[in-house]
Amino acid sequence: MVNRINKVDFHYVANNAAHRTIEITTKQLIVRRGQPFLLTLEMLQSFSVGDTLLLTVETGPAPLERHGTRSQFGNPSPKYPSDAKAVWKYEIDRRAVLERGIVALSVTPPIDAPVGKYSLSAMTHGERKNLGTLVVLFNPWCSDDWVYLPDDRERQEYVMNEEGTVYTGTSDCISSLPWIFGQFEEEMVDICLKILDANLKHRKDPAGDTSARCNPIYVSRVISAMVNSNDDQGVLVGRWDGNYSDGCSPTYWTSSVSILQRWFQNRCSPVKYGQSWVFAAVMCTVMRFFGIPCRVVTNFQSAHDSNNSLTIDEYYDDYGVSSKETSESVWNFHVWVEGWMKRPDLMKGGIYDGWQVLDPTPQEKSEGVFCCGPAPVNAILRGDTDVKYDVPFVYAEVNADIVKWMISPDGSKKKMYTDTRSVGQKISTKAVGSWKRVDITDSYKHKEGTSAERAIFHRAVRMNSKEGHGCDIEEAPQYVEMRIEQETKVINGQDIKLRLKLSSKDHTSKEMTIRINAQAMRYYGKMAGNILNKVQLVTLLSGQDVTIPIQIPFATYSKYMVNCDSIKVSAVASDSDEYYQTETNFTLEQPVISMKALGPVQVDREMTLQVEFTNSLNEKLRNCSLTVNGCGLFKPAYVGSEMYDLNPKAKLQLTIITTPYKVGPKTVVANFSCCTFRDTKSTYIVEVKP
């Protein structure tokens, strides 16, 4: 007797809800490995438990049992090849009405199944039938999965949360940039699977690449390569020179969704332009989609060590930071992600399990391709620079020493001092379940100023250099103390007021030349313009403080700051044979965009949102535009105004009528842009009622 399958039910709603993928879709089956899902087959005749029923799943272009990309399972029990990987199984629910031909199965994808899209077919007494497709993801809820994360609040934040914050600015002046990750928005299934299929390793060896997708270490490294467009058809083009007219400025974006959709809709042609926080936020979206717990991390005073020495050379001249180009720099901030996974590839009893640094910004090649990580955070803390992947590079980002040189007018170089403390400040990520910032610097290094920090630095240098010796750098004693303070808040559009304080610990009085410079800086540590230079002679008496006021009028700095990120004010004090230097680096506070929803907000009902920006300056703002973004609120993903000119004290108002399609608290992110201010952002929370 032939058991023909008449109907198949994938139970999209029940299965996707149980596998926590219901947020993505109810139109296809998306499951997490290591966890059973329901499948009901309706036969034309009655069915008994001993009848033939073989299911086959296949993924990728050349599915094979020994690659874990094909599995045939059921009754009669197939003979598996001895090297078979990722063997699936099902159980028949004996309570089902088998005599009426209704067969309810509980199917389990194994814990080592590669993630991706599978076809599912069934074989009954000589008849084969395609049943449909399903998508398999990693499972942070399953204790056998390498991405298992035990704490439910952390899973909600690092896997399920579609909104978040990216920290930017400077270590003295941290700003938080709201971001829509939107990993469960429409099209994300196709987009994220396309990212895996478009990667170079897949092009070279499709079967091997598909098989390796069982491994989150491999998958996350592939994603870090695919988020940048270097070497491949990756998602984002990086650009730092301020010339973004043939695309969008990196500061324009507030959502990964619009970037990923653009990439996908334009047949994988890279989107212009991204910088570190954009790369990291897009990577976070893709990681969370696949089920790898992920968070965006910002490192302030982030070093870019390009010669693998774990030290950075910085040059100063009479005008502050020297314009002499070096490939090494200290960025105001740099953003990467951490992904959560085990590292069985590294042995040592699991000490490298947990958070791993992955950096999609194209900075240095790793194994010939622009990608970085996973580098275990614990390896960075221990100074284990011999561990893979890319630990020395990340170590230098958070804890390189800076060697500061003074260049005299005749071109000669003199070492001023070694700064062992500045690099790697206030390493920050968003807190679990709230909008607070958490400082995780202690997970990367011991406190600055401790002997443990120095000991690990020397260990890191030793493990990293093939010659097997470390460099020992002494900090010179400081006889003059200097610091720069803010007198008032620094707000874009107003004059900046600072003061330089000097005090001498020396027992003799000193005649010193003080050179003060204000420079417009790009966030990646490059000087873009001189705003102010000031030279003054000061007599420093022992034990006595001297204060020098520093004023920077709006009219002086405004034109530099449209394309720059911060103002670095540095002061060098010198007499015939000594140099002392201090600096501060700050961003300008931006004006606020006000938003409000008119009336109550309900899902699937029209709502009105009013967005408003007021020009508080005494000058006309040209080419003003407002853009609004939000998860579950707008289709298409964002709404934008036309270009306007805005007279002094005038308002730009945008009234948006939209229909929210997801319930719960949703964040609206508004972006204002014009010729004088770059992308200014504000947020507003809308509570969408059921």
Interface residues with Ca ion (CB under 5 A) are 225, 228, 230-232, 234, 305, 307, 309, 399, 420
Eight-class DSSP state of 328? -
The reply, when asked if residue 453 is annotated as ligand binding, is: yes
Q: Determine contact, residues 674/622, Cβ cutoff 8 Å.
A: yes
Pick the closer one to Ca ion by CB: 225 or 527.
225
* Widest Cα–Cα separation across the chain: 108
User: How far apart, in whole angstroms, are the C-alpha atoms of residue 26 and residue 632?
Assistant: 15
Q: Cβ 454 to Ca ion, closest distance in Å?
A: 8
Q: Determine contact, residues 18/127, Cβ cutoff 8 Å.
A: no
Pick the closer one to Ca ion by CB: 274 or 339.
274
Helix H or strand E encompassing 223 = helix 216-226
User: How far apart, in whole angstroms, are the C-alpha atoms of residue 612 and residue 628?
Assistant: 11
Pick the closer one to Ca ion by CB: 224 or 298.
224
Q: Cβ 316 to Ca ion, closest distance in Å?
A: 17
User: How much helix, strand and coil, in percent to the nearest 5, is found in the chain?
Assistant: 20, 40, 40
Pick the closer one to Ca ion by CB: 232 or 679.
232
Pick the closer one to Ca ion by CB: 366 or 399.
399
Q: Cβ 300 to Ca ion, closest distance in Å?
A: 13
Pick the closer one to Ca ion by CB: 270 or 632.
270
Q: Cβ 147 to Ca ion, closest distance in Å?
A: 23
Tell me the backbone φ, ψ of residue 683, rounded to 5 degrees. -125, 160
Q: Cβ 309 to Ca ion, closest distance in Å?
A: 4
Q: Cβ 426 to Ca ion, closest distance in Å?
A: 13
Eight-class DSSP state of 50? T
User: How far apart, in whole angstroms, are the C-alpha atoms of residue 321 and residue 316?
Assistant: 5
Q: Cβ 329 to Ca ion, closest distance in Å?
A: 10
Q: Cβ 171 to Ca ion, closest distance in Å?
A: 13
Pick the closer one to Ca ion by CB: 71 or 309.
309
Please, is 447 exposed, middle or buried when counting C-beta atoms within 10 Å of its C-beta (0-12, 13-18, 19+)? exposed
Eight-class DSSP state of 636? S
Q: Cβ 423 to Ca ion, closest distance in Å?
A: 6
Direct distance between the N- and C-terminal alpha carbons of the chain, in angstroms, rounded to an integer: 51
Q: Which residue's C-beta sits nearest to Ca ion? A: 234
Residue of 652, 649, 633 lying closest to 641 (CA atoms):
652
Q: Which residue's structure tokens are 């407002």?
A: 626
User: How far apart, in whole angstroms, are the C-alpha atoms of residue 244 and residue 148?
Assistant: 41
Give start and end residues of each alpha helix (H) in 565-684: none
Please, is 642 exposed, middle or buried when counting C-beta atoms within 10 Å of its C-beta (0-12, 13-18, 19+)? exposed
The reply, when asked if residue 266 is annotated as ligand binding, is: no
Antiparallel, parallel or unpaired: β 311-317 and 401-407: parallel
Pick the closer one to Ca ion by CB: 195 or 496.
195
Q: Cβ 227 to Ca ion, closest distance in Å?
A: 7
Pick the closer one to Ca ion by CB: 371 or 633.
371
User: How far apart, in whole angstroms, are the C-alpha atoms of residue 184 and residue 19?
Assistant: 13
Pick the closer one to Ca ion by CB: 365 or 689.
365
- The CA radius of gyration of the chain, in Å to the nearest whole number, is 29
Give start and end residues of each alpha helix (H) in 266-317: 276-290
Number of helices (H) and strands (E), helices first, in the chain?
Answer: 12, 38
3-state secondary structure of 486: strand
Residues placed in the known binding site: 399, 401, 448, 453
Residues placed in the known binding site for Ca(2+): 399, 401, 448, 453
